[in-house]
Each structure stands twice: as structure tokens, then as C-alpha cells.
Chain A
Amino acid sequence: MSRSVEPLIVGGVIGDVLDMFTPATEFTVHYGTKQVTNGCDIKPSAAADKPHLQILGPPLSSSLYTLVMVDPDAPNPSEPRLRELLHWIVVDIPHGHDATKGRELVAYMGPRPTIGIHRYILALFKQEGAMGGGSQLPDGRANFSTRQFAAQNRLGLPVAAVYFNSQKEPAMKKR
């Protein structure tokens, strides 16, 4: 399965945001009909609403998952002062189900790439147990640290991750 991690390494996801990991779970992310594959391009308008997430595999296991979505290239890839910008946190997602079954800790915010081409990373962590009330909410969305969040909540290394690119859409053509 290491082959599937290569795009994450080359794209800088592993390094900038996540640590090296071995994918243990598969999950799909769909914005409408479009499925998210590593490095694909998705317009901000298409990603305005939360995606449909599906953790594959038989819903036998009782493990719960946490999903974190961040933008490490905010506000500008060449000057990511706000790295990472937090977009979404969902906890307690049961295996085999989609994100709606989980608890949204941080509301979904669609991509807002003002300058340059931004990466948007969706990382899936396996929880040890149910996320208690102890999980502190981050203060603001800016300068979030996925690593730190994972450490604080004992999430360990991610079990899966995917990312897409997004850039500002050109303005409407003037008549």
C-alpha cells in the first residue's frame, strides 16, 4: 500500500501536515459526483458544501474515526503564514459509514483560496475510544496544527488521507 502514499509525499502533504504513515483504511470523498483523488483540482464553488465521506470496509469493527480537514497553504502558498487553516473536524465516525454519522466538532468551511493554488487535506484518524468532552476546541481556525491535535487527543498516526487542489475561480466575465 505504500504506493498509494507516494502522491502524498510528493505533494508535500506528508511533511507539511502529516507524518509518514501506512494507510490502514480506505475511504472515499465525494463532492457531488466528483470523487476526490490525490492532487485533483476542485473548484471552490464545487466544494462549498461538505463532501460525502465513506469509510470503506465492512461495518463490523466498532472503531470510531476522526476526520480533520486543513489548508496548509493559507493565505498564500509562497507565504503560508496561517498554516494550517482549519476547515472541518468530525469525530466519532463509525466504521463503514459516512461523516454524517459523526459529531461535527468544527463546522465545515469550504475552500477559500485567495492567492495561489492551495492544497486541502482530509486526514482520517482512528480513535481509541469515543471522543469525550475533553477534546478542546481550537481557538480559531488559523495556525492549527494537525499533529498537535492528534497528539492531544491520542489519535496517533493517520490511517488514511487524501488531498485536492483548489484555486480562486476567475471572476465573472464582464459584458
Chain B
Amino acid sequence: MGSHLNFKNFVDAPSMEGNWSEPPGNFPLARQSSIYSLTFDELQNTFGGLGKDFGSMNMDELLKNISTAEETQAMMTASVPGGEDGVSGGNLKRQGSLTLPRTLSQKTVDEVWRDLMKENDGAKDGSSGGGANLPQRQQTFGEMTLEEFLVRAGVVREGMQQIGVPNNSGFFGNNSGMALGFQQTNGNNGFWSNNNSVLNQPSRSPLNTSGVKSSHLQQQKQQQQPQHQLQQPPEPLFPKQQTVAFAPSMHLMNTTQLASPGARSVVVIDDPSMNTKLVQSTGLQSGGMGIVGLGSPASQISSDVISKNSVDTTSLSPVPYVFGRGRKCSVALEKVVERRQKRMIKNRESAARSRARKQAYTLELEVEVAKLKEMNRELQRKQDEMMELKKNQMLETLKRPRGGKRQCLRRTLTGPW
């Protein structure tokens, strides 16, 4: 798998690999100038505009910054022939805009990162050989490439399928990291390597990120397709891997969504449609599930730039994100999903309890208020009565005695003269 890939800028790979089980070799081709392959650190340094600390940025802002940065970069890499079809060089294709799932955008990068880390722990073991296992990568926030982050954050959805497919080593491990771990299950690995374009992993795939919908592979394919997609016979699951289970998305998703396994396959599929072209549309789509794009079509996907496909904002489906291309066996994956589901349920229950508590307290206060008001009214009334009574009594008492006294004071005529 990795062998096919050229690792051009593999600079980051070694460092990133901290946990990876996969040899760096798996990394995809040289890093293209895609912005996605840059690590956060690099991004921050390079693009002044992004200067803000990534951690506290909102996902929204992050994406915006990424797009701005990408555009800048695209211009710089104009030399590479862009052309959707048959682009051999890596092109940064920017398509559409990344749309984040609503839920995701509200989180800050830090939060997503934390979630990813958590997820990572669980997912680590899964990735096995096959392509770089992204999950393992990135020990530090800074080292994670944008791609990786986005993928994991569920902005980009990857097709989950076949995690097992070894090919994927190609993730795009990118040197840059962004490699959204797409696991390209199919033999695609080779593809990327062909073109340096690697970068993109995300773009690769027409796999749409919309993996979310995974259930409808077909749909996705079509959606993704627009651009250069490799024309391959659509396979429902594009071998690429991607099981993208996003930790954050998991939380966000409701259990029902979790249940939709279909998503997995979706993402990847787009690739099939891709024909040798580069795919790129990275489809960074919200929906977070992995960027399918990686799906590197069998033919070469030449560096497809990360093209952003219009994201279909399908409901997020908590598809487990599998890093490292298909390495994770389904059992481990299920555990991860299950754990997430449980956590989500627990959280919901806790929230419900909290609401009930609040409501009970309010009700009690209302009852108290009503009681006190009534008591107050009663007491007021009684007091008025008492006053009235007293007043009357006093008046009466006053009248009688006066009359008597006057009489007494009368002088009588008595005298000796």
C-alpha cells in the first residue's frame, strides 16, 4: 500500500506517527501544497491570517480560515494543472465550500480535538497496517494535519467500508496530516501515489464526505460526482475505508442515527464513481463522516486537490471513523460505536433528570407562592375585621360615659341667702 505512494513530504509523518502502527511508508504521496496537509502548526505559522489560536476557534472559523488559506494556496499552486479530469499534479481544487454540520460548527476546535483524542484512544488499536493509520497519529494537536482533524471532526466523511482493506495506506497520511484517514480500501493505494497530489486526500474522493448519508451510496456518488470523479463502477462501498466515526459527531448524533450503518459505505463509494480522475472533491462535507474522497479511484487520482464538494448536509450519522484504513476490525469498531452510544444515552438521561429537577422545583415554588398569597389574603382580611371591630367597640365606649359625666358636673343651687 504505502509503497505506491510517494512520500514526498513525509516530513511530518514520522513525527506524527507516534502511535501509528503503520510504517510511514504508507503515507501517501508527497505532500502537495494542499493546505490540508499542513499541520496545524504549520498552518498557524504560515498563514498569518489564521493567526488566531486554533484551539479556541470555532469550527466555523476554522473552516473559513482554511478556505481562505486554501484559496491563497491555490493561487500559488496554479502551476499545477487543475483540470478536474486527469489532473495528475496535485491540484488544489476547491470546490464548493465546506459546510460543517451545525452541531460541529458550534464546537470549538479544542473540543473537537479532545473528542478526537478520546476516540483515538479507542481506535488506535484498530488500525493495522494498511495505510497509515491516521488515528494513531497526531499526538499533539499541532501535529495533526488539518485534514486529519477535519476528517476526524466529521466535517469530512469517509466511507467506512471495508476497513480492512489494506490498501489504504494511502491515507494521505499525508504528510500533512490531513489525510483524513481515508482509508482506501481498494487497491487505490496505488493511486495516490501516482500523483503526488496526494494531498488531498480529502479531495480524493469523491467520496463524499457526505458520507453521512451513507445509507445512500448511490446518492452520494451522484452528489460527489460532479466533478471529477473517477468513473468506476459504483460500488456500494467503496473499498475505501473509511469508517469514519466521529467522536464528536457521535455525540451529536442521536442514537437513531447511530444506527445507520449505511453511512459507512457511503462515503467511499463515491470513489468508485471516480474514475481515474482525481477526485477531489474532497467533499469535505459536513456530515462529518470521513472524507471519502480519499477513495482514490483506482485510476489515479492524481493529486486531487481537495476539492470541496458541496456538502450535503445530511444528517450526521455517527458512523465510526476508522482510521488507518480499514485496519480496525469491525469488532473494535462496534465497541467504539457502542461506547459512544452509551455515553450519549447517559448524557441524555442526565439532561432529562436535570430538567425534571428544575421543573419540580419551579412547580413547588408556584405551589408555595399560591399558598402564601392565600395566607396573606386571609390574614389581611382578618386584620381588617379586627380593626373594624375594635373601632366600633371604641366608639361605643366613648359615647356612654360622657353623657353621664356631664350630668354630674351640673351645679345645683344651694345656698343660705
Contacts and interface: CB of A to CB of B under 8 A. Distances in A.
Interface of A: 3-4, 6-8, 10-12, 37-40, 77-78, 116-117, 165
Q: Is the interface of B mostly helix, strand, loop or mixed?
A: helix
B306 to A, nearest CB: 42
B370 interface: yes
Contacts of B350: 77-78, 116
Given A10-B359, A11-B356, A165-B357, A37 B364 contact: yes
Interface string B322-354: 000000000000000000000000100110010
B363 A6 contact: yes
Nearest to A3: B367
* 9 A-B pairs with the lowest CB-CB distances in the bound complex, closest first: A11-B360, A39-B361, A38-B364, A7-B364, A10-B360, A39-B360, A7-B360, A7-B363, A6-B363
A37 B357 contact: no
Contact of B367 (A4, A78, A116, A117): A4
15 contacts: A6-B367, A7-B360, A7-B361, A7-B364, A7-B367, A10-B356, A10-B360, A11-B360, A12-B356, A37-B365, A39-B360, A77-B350, A78-B349, A116-B350, A117-B357
Given A10-B359, A10-B360, A38-B360, 16 more contacts: A4-B367, A8-B360, A11-B357, A37-B364, A38-B361, A38-B363, A38-B364, A39-B357, A39-B363, A40-B364, A78-B346, A78-B349, A78-B350, A78-B353, A116-B350, A117-B353
A3 B350 CA distance: 26
Contacts of A39: 357, 360-361, 363-364
A7 B368 CA distance: 11
Interface of B: 346, 349-350, 353, 356-357, 359-361, 363-365, 367-368, 370
Contacts of B346: 78
A165 B365 CA distance: 15
A158 B360 CA distance: 19
A32 to B, nearest CB: 19
A116 B351 CA distance: 12
Contacts of A8: 360
Contacts of A12: 353, 356, 360
A6 B363 CA distance: 7
A132 B400 CA distance: 67
Nearest to A165: B357
A77 B347 CA distance: 12
Contacts of A77: 350, 353
Nearest to B360: A11
A127 B136 CA distance: 66
A128 B370 CA distance: 33
B165 to A, nearest CB: 39
Contacts of B357: 11, 39, 117, 165
A78 B353 CA distance: 9
Contacts of B360: 7-8, 10-12, 38-39
A8 B365 CA distance: 12
A116 B363 CA distance: 22
Contacts of A37: 364-365, 368
A73 B81 CA distance: 65
A40 B361 contact: yes
A79 B349 CA distance: 11
A10 B363 contact: yes
A67 to B, nearest CB: 20
